Amino acid sequence: MDAYILHSGFDGLKFTIQTDIPPALRAELASAKEHAKTTHSDCIIELGPIKLSITSKGARGFTANTGDHGAVWLFQDPEDRIPNNPGITVDFRAFGLATGGLEGAEQHFRDCMTAFGIPYVETQLRVARADFAVDFLAPWFEPDRQALVVPPGTKVTEYTGVDETATVSSGGRVTGLRAGAIANRQIAIYDKRAEVIQSNKLGWLTIWNAARKVSGHPPIDLSDRNTSQVWRFEMRLGSKQLRNKFELRNWDDIRSAIGDAFTDSTRRMRYCEPTHDSNRARWPLHSLWRLYESVIANDLMVNCCGLLPSNVISANRAAKMRELDAMLCGVFVSRAAISGVQADDFEEFMDAHVAALMRLSDEHATKLEERIAKANARYRLND
C-alpha cells in the first residue's frame, strides 16, 4: 500500500543555558510583565531586530516568545532564583523548525542572545530535548498497539496491558499510540490531520500541499478523511539519551551526532508487523517504519559520526586497564627480585603477597570506598 511523505524534520528542540539575564534585561522584562498583568494581554518589546512578547505567566521568572517561527523563552528572575534550575530555557517552535531546520534555529538563538545582551559561552549550553517527525499521507493505515515493540521496562503515561503503551482512541478507531518517557526516549504515532483540524494549525496544510505540488499531486482536502488522512511518526529524545548516553551538549554536538542518537533509538523502539512468532524481536518492520528509518538515515546523514561515546569510553577504559596491569606486573617483578624470589617461585610469591596487600589496605587510614570513589573521579571512565 502506498504512503506519501508530506514532511520530515525536527519538530521539537529545547536548550537550557546556565547563566542569568543581565540587570537591564531583567528590569525591562519585569516592567513588561506588570503591563501584561494589568492589560490581561501580552506585552511586546523590541530588542534590536527581535520582537519579544512577554506574558503575565511565570511566578518566579518571565515567560516570553519570539513568534510561531521563533521560540518560547523562560527566564529565571535572578533576584528570586529557583535553586539548581537553569537560568534560561529556550524551546523552539515547530513551525520554525519545519521551515528553517537546525540551521535556522541556531541562527535565531544566536541573534536573540545578542539582542538580549546575554553573555554566554558554549559550555553553558545543555540540550534537553529533540524530536524528529515524519508525516505520511496514508489513509489505509490505522495504529495497532500490539505492533509497537519496545524495550522491557519502558516507562509510559498510561497502561493498557500490551507493551506498556499509551493508547488514544475516538470511538472504535485508534487515533494514536505513545510509548516511553520523554526524559529518555519516546515514540509517538498519531493522527496529525485531526490535530491540525482541532487546533486550527493550518500552516501544516500549507507545508503538506507544498510537498504535494512539488511531486505533481493535487492538494489535500481535509474535509475528506479518506483521501487526507495524515499520520505522524515521531521519535522524542530527552536528556538521558542526548546528554547522558550520547554526550550531546551544544550546537556543535547536535550538528555532529544527533543523527546517531535518532538512528540508535529507532532500532530500540519500533513499529512492526505482528506475526505468530512468540519472539516479538523477530517481527518484521512495518512498511511505514522502514520509510521512517530511511528518512532519518537520509535527512540526518550529515549529523552522524557513526560512533557512540560509550564505545570511546570502553576503549579508553580497556587501554587504561592494560596500562595499569603492565605497571602492576612490573612492580611485582621488582618486589620479587628485592625479596630474592626466583622465577620458578614467582606465581607462589604473587598469591601469597595478595593477602599482605589486603592487610595493608585494611590498615589504611582512609576507607576503601572513599579511595575507590576518588580514583573514579580522577579517571572518569564510567559510562
Same-domain pairing of 173 and 285: yes
CA distances to 141, 285, 312 from 2, in Å:
10, 16, 42
Same-domain pairing of 139 and 237: yes
Single residue among 308, 343, 371 that ends a domain in this structure: 308
Same-domain pairing of 303 and 324: no
Same-domain pairing of 341 and 300: no
CA pair distance 179, 270, nearest whole angstrom: 10
Q: Which domain holds residue 282?
A: 4-308
pTM of the model: 0.77
Beta strands in 138-247 (DSSP E): 148-149, 166-170, 173-180, 185-191, 230-238
CA pair distance 42, 55, nearest whole angstrom: 5
Same-domain pairing of 353 and 234: no
Single residue among 308, 341, 362 that ends a domain in this structure: 308
CA pair distance 48, 111, nearest whole angstrom: 10
> 79 burial class (0-12, 13-18, 19+ CB within 10 angstroms)?
exposed
CA pair distance 309, 180, nearest whole angstrom: 23
Single residue among 253, 287, 308 that ends a domain in this structure: 308
CA distances to 18, 319, 322, 369 from 325, in Å:
41, 10, 5, 21
CA pair distance 32, 43, nearest whole angstrom: 6
CA-based nearest residue to 222, from 291, 139, 143, 288: 139
Same-domain pairing of 204 and 246: yes
CA pair distance 164, 157, nearest whole angstrom: 9
Dihedral class, residue 163 (left if φ above 0, else alpha if ψ from -120 to 50, else beta): left
CA pair distance 242, 229, nearest whole angstrom: 32
Same-domain pairing of 248 and 314: no
CA pair distance 33, 143, nearest whole angstrom: 44
Torsion angles phi and psi, residue 245, rounded to 5: -90, -50
Same-domain pairing of 340 and 275: no
Contact of 299 with 266, CB cutoff 8 Å: no
Same-domain pairing of 231 and 339: no
Q: What is the pLDDT along the chain (383 residues), one digit of tens a residue?
A: 789 999 999 999 999 999 999 999 999 999 999 999 999 999 999 999 999 999 998 888 999 999 999 999 999 999 998 888 999 999 999 999 999 999 999 999 999 999 999 999 999 999 999 999 999 999 999 888 888 888 876 643 333 334 445 566 555 577 888 998 889 999 999 999 999 999 999 999 999 999 999 999 999 999 999 999 999 999 999 999 999 888 899 999 999 889 999 999 999 999 999 999 999 889 999 999 999 999 999 888 777 665 454 554 554 566 667 777 888 888 888 988 898 888 888 888 888 888 888 888 888 888 888 888 777 766 655 44
* Helical spans, DSSP H, in 16-150: 23-39, 94-116
Q: Which amino acid is at 340?
A: G
Same-domain pairing of 17 and 144: yes
Residue 33: how many other CB atoms lie within 10 Å: 22
Same-domain pairing of 95 and 14: yes
Into how many domains does the chain fold? 2
Same-domain pairing of 146 and 45: yes
Q: Which triple of cell numbers denotes residue 94?
A: 515547530
